[in-house]
Structure 1
């Protein structure tokens, strides 16, 4: 019983401090932003401009891994029960209120909850079986294909602006 409570406490503390969790449903493992609220991780996605949630189905199970925010090492993993929240329900409203505060760079911040209700899914990932054991191999994998772009050419004037010397 003590190990179970310790595992639950570790899951909660790690998930609260981490901005991302790694989730694998029936598809590939993906990094998802989330919020920890009332004993579970909540994610929103599958809509235009939101994160994909492939392989996560209502009533299904998912493997969740939390890594350290500062070191990047695996802290804890657990099997989650996946529940899709009905838009407009009391649980959905509470989850969306928490998620809204964590959603960065939303183009429609004020109308975001209405859009999520129409076009997205809000999922509750409730921990079931917790594992703190480290895997035998590294679990390293090639990145999934994505349309996201992080590198663009450096503007020609930038080095001069950054490295110019101040004249006395």
Structure 2
């Protein structure tokens, strides 16, 4: 398969997705929303601990694996390899990508300052297909996908709340 054929197949699959799972440096996959800008797939990654999607280390990774889930998110449509390229803030390409991402961004705070915040606090990254499609419909690998949950300091508060309108355990006598 040529790179052009692979890019066309990837474009067809990416049209069906609004979210992808990215993994880089043999790390745990992370969800990321993206936008298509002039045939390129652009992801917004938080450079610091700000308000955008946290993808630590993706800007310097150089390569990533992109997993495209099906709409019900219970299966995969495809998986492909990408090179990661950072856009230089303020350049024409960065501005065009930022304008498209701005319209795709849901629940954004402070819209009037959003682009300035992205210049200083976030990285706009382009995912460029290498032409290697690792999985596609009907051709999946045998790797087990189950992973243990990420550790967290969160705990339950204690006893679960009382359920109101509980079903009566014993029927009353009818007489």
TM-score range, shorter chain: 0.7 to 0.9
Question: Which of 114, 131, 134 does residue 140 from structure 2 map onto?
Answer: 134
Shift of 1:112: 0.8
> Which runs of no fewer than 5 residues in structure 1 stay unpaired?
148-152, 157-168
What's the Cα RMSD here?
A: 2.6
SS at match of 1:125: strand
CA deviation digits over 1:102-124, x for unaligned, max 9? 11111112221111011111100
SS at match of 2:59: coil
Contact 1:80/1:126, CA 8 A, preserved across alignment = yes
Q: Which residue of 2 aligns with 1:36?
A: 36
Q: Which residue of 1 aligns with 2:81?
A: 79
> Which runs of no fewer than 5 residues in structure 2 stay unpaired?
154-159, 164-175
Shift of 1:38: 2.4
In 2, Cα distance between the equivalents of 1:142 and 1:7? 33
Question: Which of 53, 56, 63 does residue 65 from structure 2 map onto?
Answer: 63
Give the TM-score normalised by structure 1. Answer: 0.77
Matched, 1:15 2:18: no
Shift of 1:71: 5.2
How many residues align? The count is 150
**Higher radius of gyration, 1 or 2:** 2
Matches within 5 A, 1:96-115: 96-115=98-117
CA deviation digits over 1:51-93, x for unaligned, max 9? 1112313471111110111353111111101000000111101
Give the TM-score normalised by structure 2. Answer: 0.74
CA deviation digits over 1:116-138, x for unaligned, max 9? 01111110011112232312134
Matches within 5 A, 1:43-58: 43-46=43-46, 47=48, 48-58=50-60
Contact 2:24/2:61, CA 8 A, preserved across alignment = no
Shift of 1:29: 1.2
In 2, Cα distance between the equivalents of 1:18 and 1:103? 15
Q: Which has the larger displacement, 107-116 or 69-78?
A: 69-78
